Amino acid sequence: MNDKILGIIGGMGPEATVSFYSRIIKMTEVSKDQDHFRVVIDSNSKIPDRTDAILNNGPSPLPALIETAENVRKMGAVVAGIPCITAHYYMNELRKNTSLKVLSALEVLEDKIQKMYPHIKHIGVLATTGTVKSKLFNQQLNNHHILYPSDESQKKKVMEAIYGAEGIKNIGINKKSLNLLIAAGNELIEQGAELIIAGCTEIGVILNADHVNCPFLDPMDVLAEYMIND
């Protein structure tokens, strides 16, 4: 029986939160509704933008992250995940300020790579500029060579696909954003990437293994798996 209560510290953004919850549902083996986990979600879209905070000294999302984690804990969750990679910049401080067990998508991703792809050394990451500049993946996957798109492609392809006027955060899933991300992924493969990581939750909403010609991992898939089996 799946009796434990799972939590989602969400809202960053709402599409990514919905997608993450959907993954938990799809990965849970059930024969009836009652076999599913009880999941409590605080989709707090008012949490300040993480990239703006990291790059431009914008309002810190940490107080709102702590508040949201505490809301999830008070609703009964025993373990929670954050469907926002950039928010993991604040993971250590968040853990210091809540008794809720919060799994790190980056930590479980590292474990998954070690188990599934122990011989891979060059990893391509598609992520927000905030995540790139904070070097979250470099720090966690420090036994690998991490590749990112060129500065121009990061701005005109990756960030445009996420934040642009026709980007995922503004109008949701669309073909233009997908094509931009495919092009950026191909660029990483040309640089020598042996594995592509969807390093932003919005990217994982639209890009999948069918779109790249090498192994592909979405940290949100891995996080959902580890939350279920925790």
The domains of the chain, with CATH numbers, are 5-104+222-229 (3.40.50.1860), 106-219 (3.40.50.1860)
pLDDT tens by residue, 46-62? 999 999 999 999 999 99
Strand partners, 197: 125, 217
pLDDT tens by residue, 7-45? 999 999 898 999 999 999 999 999 999 999 999 999 999
pLDDT tens by residue, 96-115? 999 999 999 999 999 999 99
Q: Which residues are catalytic?
A: 84, 200
User: What confidence score (pLDDT) does residue 2 get?
Assistant: 81
Whether residue 174 has pLDDT greater than 90: yes
For the sheet with 216-217, list strands across it. Answer: 145-147, 122-126, 195-198, 216-217
* Residue range 201-227: mean pLDDT, rounded: 96
Rounded CA separation 156/22 (Å)? 30
* Residue range 131-156: mean pLDDT, rounded: 96
Cα maximum dimension of the chain: 50
Q: How many residues does the chain have?
A: 230
User: What confidence score (pLDDT) does residue 1 get?
Assistant: 62
